[in-house]
Structure 1
Amino acid sequence: MRMEATQTRPMGGKQKEINVGRTERNASMVGGAALALSGLTTIAKRRLLPGLAMMAAGGMLMYRGKTGHCDIYESIGLDTGGSEDHGLTVEKFLTVNRLPQDVYEFWRHLENLPSFMRHLASVEVTGERTSHWKAAGPGGISVEWDAEIVEDYPGQLIQWHSVGDAEIPNEGLVEFREAPGGRGTEVKVTIRYYPPGGAAGKIAAKVAHALNAMEIEEDLKRLKQILETGETATAARSNGHH
């Protein structure tokens, strides 16, 4: 569903410019709503301060999504508001029998991602919120890009996007929600790829299309196996990626 861009007029009469792309705004709305709901649930369990903190964080994300303005982006001169609403979107979720904080911490150590994401050759942390990714595609094709975490709420969600001249521009959101009945954590992953045009874009597109919903689902199953048993299947990679 496409969300129409809007602007707000704060006190003082000066409009805040839209500097957040449409897809990022949608992800912020989804993540913010999830945080706010988790906050209400936490308050209902008589954990007032953590619940209020979640609701406040959720409100900030929803504000970012609704208005299309990010003060952090403004302070560092970043503007993704002109990004087009296209690309390949993959969305999957799975329940893991571990606490949300445990799953979050494993994912937040980005070097762990290649242990369950088969398409990733490596992830190198280059800063507090920045990293360098290498992905392997069909036929020995490989692509690289730099990424930055733009939203990070421990035990709740991580949102990121590629930066600079990425061979496959992409962005994603992973949410960690307490599963009903104390059954662990519901992990929801949403990733969108934007293969560029031209000859290089055709190569990148092959890699992006290889990262389909089935692949992500298999990745999450490996994540579940690692976190619940401490082991992962050692089956060889298939040569039949399309």
Structure 2
Amino acid sequence: MNDVAQKLGGALVGGEVNVGTVERWASMFGGGYLAGAGIKKGGAGGALMGLVGAILLHRGATGHCNVYTALGVDTSSTGARPADGAMPATGAAAGVRLEASITVNRMAEELYAYWRDFTNAPSYMDRIISVRALDDRRSLWTAEGPRGAAIEWMSDLTEDVPNRRIAWHSLPGSDLPNRGSVEFTPGRLGETTVRHTLEFDPPGGMVGEAIARVMQGMTKEMVQADLRRFKTLMEAGTTVGAGAPAGSSA
């Protein structure tokens, strides 16, 4: 344990900001998960997970990465860039694609109409605080981020097939770059299969792939949980822990 403490102390040394905004959010998100998992696991393995989690949390909170400093890398501006005289970083993480589906005992037309009004999203999406419609295509989303901080992004509708499919993507400058879609496939006896797909671009750099793997496992469960709340909301008219009852707007 003393070795772990020494490593932690050596890693948590402050410095100038050299980590981009999206990468900082991802570091805090992944770090919080690993820290909590390490505490539950216990033992040497848990201590190691806790160490990695603490380093990522510190990286996100301070915006400083010692590895980046050693390599002369700075991603704090838009896109990764090498410091003067340094070689550019390679091996940026690939995008993460998440997909979940559920069968709802309601007609596709009803489900589409409720989802298409994006201001309803806080009633079934757990971390969404509010959605403000700006026009027929664009909406401003606010979500709860690490440590209660607010994350905002502008979403633009890219496809709208009434009663069948909705697709969107975030606009440049968003805190959380993402794109996604939802499809409504009618079944028998008034049932509808709802398939929700979400894609986001994790940070590049030296730890991007590791953070992406952690976030993928967590976020897939979040998407599935949102669909379960959506099902309960549409079938029973109410849900627990995700905002207002059916028929209301945020």
Q: TM-score range by the shorter chain?
A: 0.5 to 0.7
Write the distance in 2 (CA, Å) between the matches of 1:211 and 1:190: 15
Deviations 1:9-51 (A, max 9, x none): xxxxxxxxxxxxxxxxxxxxxxxxxxxxxxxxxxxxxxxxxxx
1:9-20 equivalences in 2 (<5 Å): none
2:140 aligned with 1:126: no
Identity of aligned pairs, percent?
A: 37
Change in Cα spacing, 1:193 to 1:130, as seen in structure 2 (3 Å) is: same
Please state whether the residue corresponding to 2:202 is helix, strand or coil. Answer: coil
Give the number of aligned pairs.
Answer: 150
2:116 aligned with 1:108: yes
Displacement of 1:141: 3.1
1:1-242 equivalences in 2 (<5 Å): 86-179=94-187, 181-197=188-204, 212-234=219-241
Query: What runs of 5+ residues in structure 1 fail to find an aligned partner?
Result: 1-83, 237-242
Structure with bigger RCO (C-alpha 8 Å, 6+ apart):
2
The answer on whether the counterparts of 1:149 and 1:160 sit within 8 Å (CA) in structure 2 is: yes
Write the distance in 1 (CA, Å) between the matches of 2:93 and 2:159: 20
The answer on whether the counterparts of 2:94 and 2:202 sit within 8 Å (CA) in structure 1 is: no
The answer on whether the counterparts of 1:137 and 1:207 sit within 8 Å (CA) in structure 2 is: no
**Paired AA for residue 149 in structure 2:** I
Write the distance in 2 (CA, Å) between the matches of 1:207 and 1:109: 31
Displacement of 1:210: 8.2
Please state whether the residue corresponding to 1:165 is helix, strand or coil. Answer: coil
**Paired AA for residue 127 in structure 2:** H
Displacement of 1:168: 1.4
Write the distance in 2 (CA, Å) between the matches of 1:169 and 1:210: 18
Displacement of 1:205: 7.4
The answer on whether the counterparts of 1:103 and 1:227 sit within 8 Å (CA) in structure 2 is: yes
Write the distance in 2 (CA, Å) between the matches of 1:123 and 1:88: 24
Write the distance in 2 (CA, Å) between the matches of 1:85 and 1:209: 12
The answer on whether the counterparts of 1:169 and 1:193 sit within 8 Å (CA) in structure 2 is: yes
Displacement of 1:196: 3.8
**Paired AA for residue 193 in structure 1:** F
Please state whether the residue corresponding to 1:227 is helix, strand or coil. Answer: helix
Structure 1 counterpart of 2:89:
none
Displacement of 1:144: 0.7
Please state whether the residue corresponding to 1:123 is helix, strand or coil. Answer: strand
**Paired AA for residue 138 in structure 1:** P
Bigger radius of gyration among the two: 2
**Paired AA for residue 116 in structure 1:** Y
Change in Cα spacing, 1:194 to 1:131, as seen in structure 2 (3 Å) is: same
